Structure 1
Amino acid sequence: MEAPLKLVAITNCPAGIAHTYMVAEALEQKARSLGHVIKVETQGANGVENRLLDSEIAAADYVILAIGRGLNEEDRARFAGKKVYELPISQALKNINQIFEQLPTHSKLFAADSGVRLGNQEVRQGSVMSHLMAGVSAALPFVIGGGILVAIANMLVQFGLPYQDMSKGAPSFSWIIESIGYLGFKFMIPIMGAYIAWSISDKPAFAPAFIVCYLANDKGLLGTQSGAGFLGAVVLGLAIGYFVRYFRKVKLGKALQPLLGSMLIPFITLFVFGVLTYYVVGPFMASIMDGLLHFLNTIPPSMKLGAAFLVGAMLAFDMGGPINKTAWFFCFSLLEKHIYDWYAIVGVVALMPPMAAGIATFIAPKLFTQQEKDAAGSAIVVGATVATEPAIPYALAAPLPMITANTLSGGITGMLVIAFGIQRLAPGLGVFDPLIGLMSPVIPFYAVLAAGLALNITLIIVLKGAWLKHSARKLAAKQDVAHEI
């Protein structure tokens, strides 16, 4: 394409952390190199940034959508009538050149209600996983804020401040801070269930799901030893969401129809699922959670280490992909039950692939391209704050050695985390977690991280070196054959 184009784009990913901004930067750099004008709106963890104006969309020749969690109805309406090139954000980095080459041939006219998708997304809009990620995204601020407050309270006590609850008179400041923090853990479950239901069928489902999920985790009301936990939030959030979706299709006539969403749906949904939860769903889910907690608390050490290897390997395998998120979700879901050692595996292993790749480029620069060397500093810094995605370009360049190195070192490091009794209270700031009280004990954390990084770097250098030599020999053999012919 010779003439410069006016382009607009949106990037988003399920977590809203690394992929969202990495792809936005890549699109901007490539567009500038081709002489095009582009503006990219990012829909990440910080909310919508660099929002596209209606006038900019109207003037654009093409719209690029690199998305991992779909678009809402408002966004689809914004691009109605535009030529849209849509692809999964997981494919954007490795196909950045093809995106611009294929704009004329692969773009499709976008209708507001078309929901057109080109290819399979990691988290497809309208899928069950997209609804679950909506719930997780809503719950994260609760557990992050609450976890940091609990950590601060523990630090204050360690510094010598008194810890006294209300039963002994006026409560101490450390107790107040800790109690506020634990409210975050308490409400993250009903918030998650409410946003899962809201993602499926909008506002009418929100209040019933919140109240019912709160009920399912109130041991006093249910008379159970444990609440339904994250599992209950998932089941009830999905059930209420789909129930309300079909309920909204009921036609009641002009007089009663306005009352459907504001009164009838919340009342009937809350009544039906409230009763079901009290008598059936709540106790049943609570018994399942009791069984899971009992298993985790009584699992033999050898089995626990084996499970830790599996979790660590899954976290490192696809660097923010579906396997990584499955392991992350399992570990994260245990925080509400005050089980912190499994989430500590996330806090260590998620740091390693990007940091190890970046450090390895400085130790063995001959194994990496100039582009990989230029990205090394960013990979180390971003990776240190628990965003695994910066390791993806390194893995794409040499999949077999890089993924093997990451997976093996991640599994072994997961075992070390459990063996040393490391715990993590909540999501935080990666390598700085011990300094703000979210990760403990401090010295074992840094020792295990250093050991894991050393192993990961060593495996990268050894395996990638062997892989490059093997590739060079194969290329030389092909050239010899071609020369003989």
Structure 2
Amino acid sequence: MESSLRVVAITNCPAGIAHTYMVAEALEQKARQLGHTIRVETQGSSGVENRLSDAEIAAADYVILATGRGISNDDRQRFVGKKVYEIPISQALKNIDTIFPHLATQALTFTADNSVRLGKQEVVQGSVMSHLMAGVSAALPFVIGGGILVAIANMLVQMGLPYTDMAKGAPSFTWVVESIGYLGFTFMIPIMGAYIASSIADKPAFAPAFLVCYLANDKGLLGTQSGAGFLGAVVLGLAVGYFVLWFRKVRLGKALQPLLGSMLIPFVTLLLFGVLTYYLVGPFMSDVMSGLLHILNTIPPSMKLGAAFLVGAMLAFDMGGPINKTAWFFCFSLLEKQIYDWYAIVGVVALMPPMAAGIATYLAPKLFTAQEKSAASSAIVVGATVATEPAIPYALAAPLPMITANTLSGGITGMLVIAFGIKRLAPGLGIFDPLIGLMSPVGSFYLVLAVGLALNISLIILLKGFWLKRKTATQQENEHGHRTA
């Protein structure tokens, strides 16, 4: 083995208190004794500390994983292609003398098995948007599960089953199912705030953010007309997260440091932000949400259609980019307030760019390359289940006509969704949403989707045909100019 090695390591244990830090210190001491350099990332009760950078991992000769609860798939992905030595943390201390000598013979090269990221990273890691999307990702299962249960309850009532709440005696089965479903909508807000904060500052921020976000949405406790909603979860999640991130930098010495994340940070943060939420943040954000809801409920029809055009156009413009995410976030945030028509725009417009591109490829094959033709069927099928990625290659190949067609048709379809009174309870399965009760009215959904697709396809064929003719004419002019020169 080489005389001097560059090593990186991760230590964690189930409790995240004693062994995590003891093994980290032991590895550092042993590395110094042997003349090696080492950086140890601890995943303890205070969350991730001394996080390894990509550059440090890339430069390392070996990776040591001394763990008691394993590492996440995201962490495994960081070490793909590296020589990794794994040891249970319970064995690390008593075998500390043998770890470094065994690196050359027992370290194995990590592969991408079970750790491949799905899709591309569309937001910068560590940015505010990445923290918001972490919160949204955590909230999605709550609203999906809850929305489907509410839809099932409504379908059962329409089929003739009785609906009786607790105020009228023994509750009916439909009421029980609906009530369980609405729990998903209730807890999606504190879960979102907790995961926003946790994305910023790890585990110590989770509990305080969850509790203050729940408080901010409890109208009974606050005595307000409305809860703080998604806006409150965003504000409180970010505030708690960055406060805890600063708090974690406090140094208390080896004896007390493990207590910082498990006791002091949750206690101080909950006390501070709990009081602030009760007296200031909760009532203020409640007033803001009440004002927003009042505007949405009293907006004149003409202005509402204009806003729907804007939302639809934004959703279709960059297919998962920041403009799309802004519009999606606005529509999704209203579900908790039981406002379902804006999210219906997402349910229709998100289907259109990939489906329209795929169908247009079959209707006007001369306008598309062989590669685009081979991907057409996949674009249609995947697009029908609300995944916009298949539309991106078509837009990159001809940005001006494709994005223009998508944006215009998306905006007009957004207006049609509002005009036809379509509602969507929760994220689902795209074109199958009406069949499982998540989108209604059923006929209006399929009619508006058909009209939107027809418009989108027509604009793609028209605009791309014109764009290709202009492109060909320009190339011929350039070639003619070169010959005459």
TM range, normalised to the smaller chain?
A: 0.7 to 0.9
Aligned length: 381
For residues 372-391 of structure 1, the aligned pairs below 5 Å read 372-391=372-391
Match of 1:233 in 2: 233
CA distance in 1, matches of 2:196, 2:243: 12
Of 416-425 and 166-175, more deviation after overlay is shown by 166-175
Match of 2:147 in 1: 147
CA distance in 1, matches of 2:195, 2:129: 13
The letter of the residue matching 2:175 is W
CA distance in 1, matches of 2:325, 2:310: 13
Shift of 1:315: 0.3
The letter of the residue matching 2:479 is Q
CA distance in 2, matches of 1:445, 1:157: 21
CA distance in 1, matches of 2:384, 2:313: 18
The letter of the residue matching 1:358 is G
CA distance in 1, matches of 2:121, 2:478: 37
Shift of 1:476: 1.1
Match of 1:210 in 2: 210
The letter of the residue matching 2:402 is M
What SS is found at the alignment partner of 2:413? helix
Match of 2:444 in 1: 444
The letter of the residue matching 1:280 is L
Match of 2:394 in 1: 394
Match of 2:352 in 1: 352
CA distance in 2, matches of 1:233, 1:270: 15
Shift of 1:80: 8.9
Of 363-372 and 184-193, more deviation after overlay is shown by 363-372
Match of 2:304 in 1: 304
Shift of 1:309: 0.3
Shift of 1:273: 0.3
Match of 1:86 in 2: none
CA distance in 1, matches of 2:397, 2:248: 49
1:438-473 C-alpha deviation (Å, 9 max, x unpaired) = 000111111100000000000001101111111111
The letter of the residue matching 1:339 is I
Shift of 1:169: 2.3
Shift of 1:147: 0.3
CA distance in 2, matches of 1:461, 1:290: 45
CA distance in 2, matches of 1:80, 1:267: 41
Shift of 1:253: 2.6
1:74 and 2:81 are equivalent in the alignment: no
For residues 76-475 of structure 1, the aligned pairs below 5 Å read 78=79, 122-475=122-475
The letter of the residue matching 1:277 is T
1:183-221 C-alpha deviation (Å, 9 max, x unpaired) = 000000000000001111111110010000000000000
The letter of the residue matching 1:439 is M
Shift of 1:74: 2.9
1:270-311 C-alpha deviation (Å, 9 max, x unpaired) = 000000000000000000000000000000111100000000
The letter of the residue matching 2:337 is K
For residues 9-48 of structure 1, the aligned pairs below 5 Å read none
Q: 1:179 to 1:121 in 2, by over 3 A?
A: closer
CA distance in 2, matches of 1:452, 1:323: 20
CA distance in 1, matches of 2:344, 2:404: 22
CA distance in 2, matches of 1:121, 1:376: 24
CA distance in 2, matches of 1:298, 1:426: 24
Q: Which runs of 4+ in 1 moved over 4 A?
A: 79-82
Shift of 1:167: 2.0
The letter of the residue matching 2:75 is E
CA distance in 1, matches of 2:320, 2:122: 10
Shift of 1:256: 2.3
Q: 1:415 to 1:274 in 2, by over 3 A?
A: same
Match of 2:103 in 1: none
CA RMSD of aligned residues (A): 2.0
CA distance in 1, matches of 2:431, 2:283: 40
Whichever of the two has the greater Rg, that structure is: 2
Of 376-385 and 169-178, more deviation after overlay is shown by 169-178
Shift of 1:257: 2.0
The letter of the residue matching 1:481 is G
Q: 1:388 to 1:210 in 2, by over 3 A?
A: same
The letter of the residue matching 1:480 is H
What SS is found at the alignment partner of 2:320? coil
Shift of 1:171: 1.4
Shift of 1:73: 7.9
Of 258-267 and 180-189, more deviation after overlay is shown by 258-267
Shift of 1:122: 4.0
Match of 2:114 in 1: none
Q: Provide TM-score, normalisation by structure 1.
A: 0.76
1:9-30 C-alpha deviation (Å, 9 max, x unpaired) = xxxxxxxxxxxxxxxxxxxxxx
What SS is found at the alignment partner of 1:385? coil
CA distance in 2, matches of 1:235, 1:80: 39
The alignment-based identity, stated in percent, is 83
CA distance in 1, matches of 2:296, 2:167: 33
Q: Provide TM-score, normalisation by structure 2.
A: 0.76
Unpaired runs of at least 5, structure 2: 1-56, 62-71, 84-119
CA distance in 2, matches of 1:330, 1:129: 14
CA distance in 1, matches of 2:312, 2:385: 17
Match of 2:90 in 1: none
Shift of 1:170: 2.0
CA distance in 1, matches of 2:257, 2:320: 44
Match of 1:111 in 2: none
CA distance in 1, matches of 2:445, 2:74: 44
The letter of the residue matching 1:364 is A
1:29-84 C-alpha deviation (Å, 9 max, x unpaired) = xxxxxxxxxxxxxxxxxxxxxxxxxxxx99xx9xxxxxxxxx998357625969xx
Shift of 1:151: 0.3
Shift of 1:479: 1.3
What SS is found at the alignment partner of 1:348? helix
Unpaired runs of at least 5, structure 1: 1-56, 62-70, 83-119
